[in-house]
Amino acid sequence: LRNTGKNSGQRSKKFALINQGCRLNAAESQRIAQELQKKGWILSSPQEAPWVIINTCTVTHRADADLRKIVRKIQRENPTARIVALGCYVDHHGEVPGTYLSLPNPRKMEVVEVLEEVDRGRIARWKSRGFLKVQEGCDLACTYCIIPRVRGPSRSLPWAEIERRMEDFLVLGYQEVVITGIHLESYGRDLGEKSGFLNLLQRLEAFYPPVRFRISSLDPRFLTRELLAYILSAPHIMPGFHLSLQHYSPRILRLMGRGSNRGFMEILEEIRATRPEAGLGTDFIVGFPTETEEDFLLLYRFAGEAPFSYFHVFSFSPRKGTRAAEIRPRVPERISKKRSALLRELGRRKKEEFARAMVGKTLEATVIKEGEALSENYLKVKFDEKLPPGNRFLFKIEELRFPYLVGNPQE
């Protein structure tokens, strides 16, 4: 595929195309090149084009190694190029490290639209990760929470709309997408689906193999055996889990309208045993009305013994219009602050201990800004090299400079 040289004054609408492997690939590469040229794109060299498309092959290990070599060479010779990998390698191994976007075989031809969309600047990437809000509102009634009142019952985003948003994310080159919602396990109920959230995760896995998903938060009371088993084994789900627990004293949990602490420790231990390097966090509310020293000690002991890698601590503050705002006696602020500080200090020590255990390991992390990446298990990694935000890399962790890990990207 040679550069025609026409319109060579335009820099931005240039692309290079590298074909690996079989004739089928060559034919498709030709079609992609023609489609792009019809839309005014100019074929150029990998050294100067702002877009370099590689139609990959994975028939042998050799082909895989060649591909990695090609990517490194482009990065060296044309560091600002956006590399797009298509085809067989993506089907077999997922996203190609160092690329702006990886598309599997069935979606190869979308590359034409991707270049067009980005060129038109129709969608600008404003964050290094995509945030996919799939659900809004809540059907539950935690006594401290105003959400059900102000945001109404749970409503789920239909699949067609999720697909549309995912397409935008792919166009923007997001490699990590955070699935968010107020109460994710309620997803799909209003659409008449029983295991809606599990079905959604399975669909996302089937449709978007190169993307890795982070689940923003889960409610342990609604974590079914099937859902837990799935998120612990599915490769596209990042091993960073946030479970919404709030407290551990059964009495306080009841007053919060959150049932009991049944199963909390078992779930946490199962996650830790299955995914030893998983990030595992929660939120705690301290100083809930009537909280005694004994309630707090129950919480403190649980927080110390459970395999958390971090937790957030909030001091209770009454929200007008909630039932908890009416519960008496309130815990004096001085005591609430003291308890929060004790628990926060414990959280800091646990986070440091977890982070220290990562030294010497290799972690996948998404670059979130210059010199900083967020690991799959939710730790911040500092590094020296210039790497494109939004891309995922493997980092060898060299040391801990708490709260940061310091790592080197691996080839």
Amino acid identity of residue 348, one-letter, is R
Helix (H) or strand (E) holding 68: helix 61-77
Interface with ligand SF4, residue 132, by CB under 6 A: no
Within residues 193-222, the interface with ligand SF4 by CB under 6 A covers 219
In angstroms, what is the minimal distance from the CB of 286 to ligand SF4? Answer: 16
Please say which residue, 86 or 182, places its beta carbon nearer to ligand SF4: 182
Residues 258 and 245: their CA atoms lie apart, in Å, by 9
Please say which residue, 125 or 323, places its beta carbon nearer to ligand SF4: 323
Interface with ligand SF4, residue 182, by CB under 6 A: yes
Within residues 93-112, the interface with ligand SF4 by CB under 6 A covers none
Tell me what percent of the chain is helix, strand and coil, each rounded to the nearest 5: 40, 25, 40
Q: Which segment (36-44, 110-118, 139-147, 269-277) binds ligand SF4 by CB under 6 A?
A: 139-147
Interface with ligand SF4, residue 188, by CB under 6 A: no
Residues 275 and 264: their CA atoms lie apart, in Å, by 17
> Quick one: which of 145, 157, 252, 397 contacts ligand SF4 (CB under 6 A)?
145
> Quick one: which of 1, 147, 234, 325 contacts ligand SF4 (CB under 6 A)?
147
Please say which residue, 145 or 162, places its beta carbon nearer to ligand SF4: 145
Please say which residue, 22 or 327, places its beta carbon nearer to ligand SF4: 327
Please count the residues of this chain forming the interface with ligand SF4, following the rule CB under 6 A: 10
> Quick one: which of 111, 138, 237, 365 contacts ligand SF4 (CB under 6 A)?
138
In angstroms, what is the minimal distance from the CB of 219 to ligand SF4? Answer: 6
Interface with ligand SF4, residue 177, by CB under 6 A: no
Please say which residue, 259 or 304, places its beta carbon nearer to ligand SF4: 259
Interface with ligand SF4, residue 148, by CB under 6 A: yes
Please say which residue, 101 or 142, places its beta carbon nearer to ligand SF4: 142
Query: Distance between alpha carbon 212 and the CA centroid of its chain, in Å?
Result: 6
Interface with ligand SF4, residue 247, by CB under 6 A: no
**235 contacts: CB under 8 Å, gap ≥ 6:** 94
Residues 358 and 400: their CA atoms lie apart, in Å, by 8
Contact, 90 vs 104, CB < 8 A?
A: yes
Label residue 338 exposed, middle or buried (CB < 10 Å: 0-12, 13-18, 19+): middle
Residues 64 and 230: their CA atoms lie apart, in Å, by 29
Q: Residue for token digits 């210059």?
A: 370
Please say which residue, 132 or 138, places its beta carbon nearer to ligand SF4: 138
User: Which residues is 179 bridged to in the sheet?
Assistant: 132, 215
Contact, 383 vs 391, CB < 8 A?
A: no
Q: Measured in Å, how far apart are the chain's first and last C-alpha atoms? A: 28
- The verdict on whether omega for the bond into residue 307 sits within 30 degrees of 0, i.e. cis, is no
Q: Which segment (13-21, 138-146, 196-204, 232-240) binds ligand SF4 by CB under 6 A?
A: 138-146
> Quick one: which of 36, 115, 132, 142 contacts ligand SF4 (CB under 6 A)?
142
- Tell me the backbone φ, ψ of residue 267, rounded to 5 degrees: -65, -45
Contact, 299 vs 336, CB < 8 A?
A: no
Helix (H) or strand (E) holding 111: helix 110-120
Q: Which segment (127-135, 140-148, 271-279, 387-395) binds ligand SF4 by CB under 6 A?
A: 140-148
Residues 67 and 85: their CA atoms lie apart, in Å, by 9
Q: Which segment (45-53, 133-141, 187-195, 390-398) binds ligand SF4 by CB under 6 A?
A: 133-141
Enter the tokens of residue 342.
């004790």
In angstroms, what is the minimal distance from the CB of 140 to ligand SF4? Answer: 4
Interface with ligand SF4, residue 140, by CB under 6 A: yes
Please say which residue, 65 or 150, places its beta carbon nearer to ligand SF4: 150
**∠ CA 215-184-182, rounded to 5°:** 100
Interface positions with ligand SF4 (CB under 6 A): 138, 140-142, 145, 147-148, 182-183, 219
